[in-house]
Amino acid sequence: MASRPTARMVLRRRTQAPKPVDLKVEDGSGSDSEYDGVSCQECGSGDFGSKLLLCDKCDKGYHLFCLRPILVSVPKGSWFCHSCSNRHNKLKSFPLVQTKIVDFFRIQRSSDSSNKLFEDYRKKRRRPSSIVMSKKRRRLLPFNPSEDPARRLEQMASLATALTATRTEFSNELTYRPGMAPRSANRAALELGGMQVLSKEDNETLNLCQSMMETGEWPPLMVVFDPQEGFTVEADRFIKDLTIITEYVGDVDYLKNRETDDGDSMMTLLSATDTSKSLVICPDKRSNIARFINGINNHTSEGRKKQNLKCVRFDVNGQCRVLLIANRDIRKGERLYYDYNGYENEYPTEHFV
């Protein structure tokens, strides 16, 4: 590709519905009248020109919010409509082979040790009955893996399929890359108004979840592809209220470095009093299953009814962490959703399905 994009390509990247009378072609080669009258192939309207995206192969236009799955922001690089992309790309399932899955997720050892950890945890949580009752904060619960090892392999393979299709490397922790925010920048003490501290007991539960995943004891979740929503996540067994589903992870960067980023999955990590120190999580290069859990349309009552997870930022040993936690009992087969606007109320969800 040429180092300097043409006016034609610039327009596509910005998703503008072009107006020839306002344009100047860089190579000076005549009129741009070919752009006049661009309309959406789904709804037929040419309105909302700033939301029209042109296919890089067939030149047909589509509103970002008319696409299924919806695109919240402009994709990086070339973009192809459903018809054109289907001619070249077919979703390839990750091989259901234990050795390949173990290598992909870097599973370290036998699950015997994690089973012992889970049993020790359950014994610690059992309490003798007492006449004296006291009101205490409800504690977080660890996920309960599927008993069938073959089913756990299918669950892991579904995530590997989604990560491979989106060219994302698996990571189950926050990552700090050269040129981005350093680990030392992640200081919960900088949070505007303070941050909720994860209790000692809940910290032990979080560590248990991480230990189980390192040994192949996986959350009972299945990643599926939906024509309207794209990759999305379903519960593969009953999940109790207050269960830790996953941590939201990815590359950590300063918000100021990402203000013009067109990524659609960034998550607030630190909202600092000094905004130059605010941090976000960017899961486009490295991430886990959290990247594929979808948001609700919080502009409608039906959308809000779908929410079954809450997104909570915690101070964990002085560092900011983001957890997705069940906010009610979740039945098997139910899709997981949370509110993208739990804090800032700035994310555009009005076109979410």
List, for residues 98-134, the tens digit of each pLDDT value: 999 999 999 986 545 555 555 665 555 555 544 444 4
Read off the pLDDT of residues 72-93 as tens digits, 9 standing for 90 and up: 677 766 777 877 766 545 678 8
- Residue 52: predicted pLDDT: 85
> Count of CB atoms within 10 A of residue 158's CB?
24
The number of residues making up the chain comes to 353
Query: Which amino acid type is present at position 132?
Result: V
Q: DSSP string spanning 102-159?
A: HHHHT--S-THHHHHHHHHHHHHH-----S-----PPPPB-----S-HHHHHHHHHHH
Distance from C-alpha of 35 to C-alpha of 52, rounded to nearest angstrom: 12
How far is residue 301's CA from residue 280's CA, in Å, rounded to a whole number? Answer: 29
pLDDT over 90 for what percent of the chain? 49
Instruction: Give the pLDDT score at 9.
Output: 25
- Which pLDDT value is given to residue 33? 40
Residue ranges of alpha helices (H) inside the chain are 7-14, 82-86, 98-105, 112-125, 149-165, 200-214, 301-305
Question: pLDDT-based confidence at 42, cuts 50/70/90?
Answer: confident
The pair of structure tokens assigned to 2 is 């040429």
Mean pLDDT of the chain: 79
Interval 55-73: pLDDT, tens? 877 888 888 888 876 776 7
Mean pLDDT over 245-270 rounds to 88
Residue 165 pLDDT > 60, yes or no? yes
Q: pLDDT at residue 135 above 60?
A: no
Per-residue pLDDT, 18: 33
Q: What is the pLDDT of residue 89?
A: 55
Q: What pLDDT does 326 receive?
A: 97
The answer to whether residues 284 and 168 touch, using CB atoms and an 8 Å cutoff, is: yes
Query: How many CA atoms lie within 13 Å of 60's alpha carbon, on the beta-carbon side?
Result: 14
Report yes or no: 296 and 349 within 8 Å, Cβ to Cβ: yes
Helical H segments across 200-295, by residue range: 200-214
Q: What is the mean pLDDT of residues 290-299?
A: 82
**Rounded distance, CA 221 to CA 283, Å?**
19
Of 265 and 284, the structure prediction assigns the larger pLDDT to 284
What confidence tens digit (pLDDT) does each residue in 210-221 have? 999 999 998 999
